[in-house]
Amino acid sequence: MIADASQPKAVRMSGSPVLDEQESVEVFDEALFSTLDIVLLGALLLAAGWWLLRRNKQENLPAPTKSYSIQPTAYTALVPSENSFIKKLKTSGRSLVVFYGSQTGTGEEFAGRLAKEGIRYRMKGMVADPEECDMEELVNMKSIPNSLAVFCLATYGEGDPTDNAMEFVDWLKNGDADLNGLNYAVFGLGNKTYEHYNEVAIYVDHRLEQLGATRVFELGLGDDDANIEDDFITWKDKFWPAVCDFFGIEGAGEDVSIRQYKLTEHVDALPEKVYTGEIARLHSYKNQRSPYDAKNPYLAPVKVNRELHGPTSERSCMHIEFDIEGSTMRYEAGDHLAVYPVNNSELVNKIGEVCQVDLDTVITLTNTDEESTKKHPFPCPCSYRTALTHYLDITSNPRTHVLKELAEYCSDQADKDKLKLMASTTPEGKALYQQWITQENRNIVHILEDIPSLKPPLDHLCELLPRLQCRYYSISSSPKLHPTTIHITAVVVEYKTPTGRINRGVTTTWLKEKHPSDPPCLVPIFVRKSQFRLPTRPATPVIMVGPGTGLAPFRGFIQERDIARKEGKEVGDTILYFGCRRRHEDYLYKEELEEFEKNGTLKLHTAFSREQAQKEYVTHLLENNKEEIWSVIGEKNGHIYICGDARNMARDVHNILVKVVMERGKMTEMEATAFIKKMDTQKRYSSDVWS
Ligand X SMILES: Cc1cc2nc3c(=O)[nH]c(=O)nc-3n(C[C@H](O)[C@H](O)[C@H](O)COP(=O)(O)O)c2cc1C
Ligand Y SMILES: NC(=O)c1ccc[n+]([C@@H]2O[C@H](COP(=O)([O-])OP(=O)(O)OC[C@H]3O[C@@H](n4cnc5c(N)ncnc54)[C@H](OP(=O)(O)O)[C@@H]3O)[C@@H](O)[C@H]2O)c1
Ligand Z SMILES: Cc1cc2nc3c(=O)[nH]c(=O)nc-3n(C[C@H](O)[C@H](O)[C@H](O)COP(=O)(O)OP(=O)(O)OC[C@H]3O[C@@H](n4cnc5c(N)ncnc54)[C@H](O)[C@@H]3O)c2cc1C
Task: Give the residue numbers annotated as catalytic, written as ranges.
Answer: 474, 643, 688, 690
Query: 365 touches which of ligand Y, ligand Z, ligand X, none (CB within 5 to 8 A by kind)?
Result: none
Given the complex with ligand Z, which of 416 and 514 has the nearer CB atom?
514
Binding residues with ligand X: total (CB under 6 A): 22
Establish if 496 lies at the interface with ligand Y (CB under 6 A).
no
Query: 596 touches which of ligand Y, ligand Z, ligand X, none (CB within 5 to 8 A by kind)?
Result: none
In three-state secondary structure terms, 575 is strand
In order, the DSSP letters of 379-411 are SSSEEHHHIIIIIB--SSPPPHHHHHHHHTTBS
Determine contact, residues 294/162, Cβ cutoff 8 Å: no
The total of other beta-carbon atoms located within 10 Å of residue 460's CB is 20
The partner residues of 152 in beta bridges, in order of sequence, read 100, 187
The total of other beta-carbon atoms located within 10 Å of residue 432's CB is 17
Nearest approach, Cβ of residue 391 and ligand X (Å): 16
Establish if 547 lies at the interface with ligand Y (CB under 6 A).
yes
Nearest approach, Cβ of residue 162 and ligand X (Å): 6
CA distance linking residue 360 with residue 362, whole number of Å: 6
- Report helix angle 552-566 to 590-598, nearest 10: 30
b or e along 9-44 (b: 16 or more beta carbons within 10 Å of the residue's beta carbon)?
bbeebeebebbebbeebbeebeeeeeeeebeebbee
The partner residues of 639 in beta bridges, in order of sequence, read 542
Q: Using CB under 6 A, which of the segments 83-91, 274-282, 503-511, 657-665 binds ligand Z?
A: 503-511
In three-state secondary structure terms, 472 is strand
User: In whole angstroms, how far apart are CA 234 and each of 161, 331, 421?
Assistant: 24, 42, 15
Establish if 549 lies at the interface with ligand Y (CB under 6 A).
yes
Q: Using CB under 6 A, which of the segments 16-24, 151-159, 247-255, 384-392 binds ligand X?
A: 151-159
Which residue from 571, 162, 98 is spatially nearest to 369, judged by alpha carbons? Answer: 98
Establish if 341 lies at the interface with ligand Z (CB under 6 A).
yes
Establish if 106 lies at the interface with ligand Z (CB under 6 A).
no
Interface map 600-619 toward ligand Y (x if CB under 6 A) = ---------xx----x-xxx
Query: 581 touches which of ligand Y, ligand Z, ligand X, none (CB within 5 to 8 A by kind)?
Result: ligand Y
Determine contact, residues 589/308, Cβ cutoff 8 Å: yes
Establish if 489 lies at the interface with ligand X (CB under 6 A).
no
Binding residues with ligand Z: total (CB under 6 A): 20
Query: 474 touches which of ligand Z, ligand X, ligand Y, none (CB within 5 to 8 A by kind)?
Result: ligand Z
Q: Which residues in the 82-141 window bind ligand X by CB under 6 A? A: 102-107
Is 284 labeled as ligand-binding? Answer: no
Determine contact, residues 487/476, Cβ cutoff 8 Å: yes
Helix count and strand count (H, E) for the chain: 23, 23
Interface map 499-518 toward ligand X (x if CB under 6 A) = --------------------
Cβ-closest position to ligand X: 190
Residues 6 or more apart whose Cβ sits within 8 Å of residue 229: 399, 400, 433
- Report helix angle 400-407 to 413-423, nearest 10: 150
Determine contact, residues 283/289, Cβ cutoff 8 Å: no
Q: Which residues in the 169-208 window bind ligand X by CB under 6 A? A: 189-191, 194, 196-198
CA distance linking residue 611 with residue 594, whole number of Å: 19
Q: Which residues in the 290-319 window bind ligand Z by CB under 6 A? A: none
Is 617 labeled as ligand-binding? Answer: yes
Query: Is the peptide bond between 381 and the residue preceding it cis, with omega within 30 degrees of 0?
Result: yes
Is 107 labeled as ligand-binding? Answer: yes
Q: Using CB under 6 A, which of the segments 14-22, 185-193, 287-295, 544-552 binds ligand Y?
A: 544-552
Establish if 532 lies at the interface with ligand X (CB under 6 A).
no
Cβ-closest position to ligand Y: 548
Q: Binding residue for ligand Z (CB under 6 A) from 473, 554, 596, 641?
A: 473
Which residue from 419, 408, 390 is spatially nearest to 460, judged by alpha carbons? Answer: 408
Query: 375 touches which of ligand Z, ligand X, ligand Y, none (CB within 5 to 8 A by kind)?
Result: none
Strands 485-491 and 336-339: unpaired
Rg (CA), the chain: 29
Q: Using CB under 6 A, which of the segments 69-77, 245-253, 467-475, 652-660 binds ligand Z?
A: 467-475
Establish if 579 lies at the interface with ligand Y (CB under 6 A).
yes
Establish if 161 lies at the interface with ligand Y (CB under 6 A).
no
Which residue from 61, 87, 79 is spatially nearest to 143, judged by alpha carbons? Answer: 87
Nearest approach, Cβ of residue 488 and ligand Y (Å): 12
Binding residues for FMN: 102-107, 154-157, 189-198, 224
Binding residues: 102-107, 154-157, 189-198, 224, 315, 471-474, 489-491, 495, 505-508, 549, 609-610, 615-619, 652, 690
Binding residues for FAD: 471-474, 489-491, 495, 505-508, 690
Q: Which residues bind ligand Y (CB under 6 A)?
A: 491, 493, 505, 547-550, 579-581, 586, 609-610, 615, 617-619, 644-645, 647-649, 652, 690-691
Q: Which residues bind ligand Z (CB under 6 A)?
A: 336, 341, 395, 441, 471-474, 489-491, 493, 495, 505-508, 549, 552, 690
Binding residues for NADP(+): 315, 549, 609-610, 615-619, 652
